[in-house]
Amino acid sequence: MKKKKKLFIAARIIFEGYLLAILAGALLLYLPFSQSGKMEVDFSDALFMAASAVCVAGEACLPIYAVWTGFGQFILLILQEIGGLGIISFTMFFILIMGERLDLRQYILIAEAYDLESYSHIREFIVKILKTSLIIQLIGAFLYAFVFVPEYGVKGIWHSVFLSSSAFCNSGLDTLGADGLMPYMTNSYFVFVTIFLILAGGLGFPVWAFLAEGYNNFRKKEKRKLRANLTVKMSIYTGVFFLLIGFLAMLLFEWNNVETMQGMSIGQKMLCALFLSVTCRTAGFSVFPWHKLRTTSGILACSLMYIGASPVGTAGGIKTTTFTVFAASVVSALRGRKDTECFHRKIADPVVRRSAAIVMTNLFVIIISTVLFCAVQPEIPLMDSLFAVFTVGLTDLTLQLLNDAGEIILVLTMFFGRVGPITLSMLFNSRKNENLIKYPQENISIG
């Protein structure tokens, strides 16, 4: 009985941690001094915004710049940091700064959450995650300041800090005006800073560690060959593959679209297509009104949203490694091979089953959410409904179009989208889930 309880400890803490963060954030956003008073805010609106920030979904039922005061915007920033870096990181960070020592249960919790094979150097691992994240975001804020301070004055510093946090955490929220980031899409400097932050957050901490090791070897002029593990290889190769596919496809589909790219120069089109490919991966910043995209581009955007970025990072989605393992298992089955192989390595059967469970569970949730959302919001076009259900912020829906039932469905979808893949991965990763009873084997007809 004790073994069964231990199996769900980490998953339960993550589930309850995100839930408490959303509820606490909603209460703080509902306080009078969090609101500017320009628009009426119901508790359901505050709950929606808190869920969007914690789940780094980027959905905004109210304009942030007009509704929330500086305090309210600061709460949103903290919530998106918690969502991006993870409940476990923040919990363990506070334990460390309080001077408390981690016990074996806490070490196991961190190892399970970050899929680590060893418990050694976990303290340094957590500190490096938070330290590196802070440094990257400060660099991003500094670079943004050259754009926003000349335009907004001292207030531009806050816009720079918030947007740097939002881009790195792949949150997709901003404190700018009604047009958001759209007026800056012809500014190549601004676009490349945003792309850098989005990719830095989406790379994942294992890739960070690999790149940091390579940099240290270069600095020390060591000739030791750097070897990337399978997680790092899959993250980099799959990430680059989908980045290029998204770029080329968006360029092709939107090249002559009167509503989007037709009036742009070739350079602007390429810059816009690159940004679209990156932001669709879970950041969710708007380049132009998303309902103006062609249907083909919309379907591609939904596919990129579903896959997301690399594991153990700030982005959402099922993760690139999950998709790669699932795709490799399909290829192996089509080729009649018993083992699933990738990069000349055999992938363990539990990992293959885990990837299939995550892919199918998330797909099932998306289908159910879309059906329910279309049922309660029949006036909203299907493509806009899909953008809303994928909860990456790529939607032009406003509060006037969302009813209470629609908001609840999106909140639940956002919550599962952030917590579901993590908890599923941890539950299926446990060796304590092995069958104690062996049943007779029997073949069935399929296909």
pLDDT per residue over 203-214, tens digit each? 887 788 788 777
Encoded tokens for 155: 């207030």
Q: Which residues contact 362 (CB under 8 A, 6 or more apart)?
A: 306, 318, 417, 420, 421
State the Cα–Cα distance between residues 50 and 307, nearest whole angstrom: 24
Distance between CA atoms of residues 385 and 371, nearest Å:
9
Question: Residue 6's pLDDT is what?
Answer: 44
pLDDT reading at 341 higher than 50:
yes
For residue 342, give the 3-state DSSP assignment: strand
Count of helix runs (H) and strand runs (E) in the chain: 18, 2
- For the chain, the average pLDDT equals 80
Per DSSP, 327 falls in state H
Tokens for 186, please give them. 């012809």
pLDDT band, residue 92 (cuts 50/70/90) = low
What Cα–Cα distance (Å) separates residue 139 from each residue in 134, 184, 320, 407? 9, 19, 26, 35
Please say whether the dihedral angle defined by the alpha carbons of residues 112, 114, 118 and 121, taken in this order, is positive or negative.
Answer: negative
Amino acid at 267: G
| pTM for this model (two decimals) | 0.85
pLDDT of residue 7 exceeding 50 = no
Whole-number Å distance between alpha carbons of 207 and 106: 24
Phi first, then psi: give them for residue 255, nearest 5 degrees.
-55, -45
Asked if residue 186 has pLDDT above 50, the reply is yes
Strands 345-347, 340-342: pairing kind: antiparallel
Look at residue 441 and give its three-state secondary structure.
coil
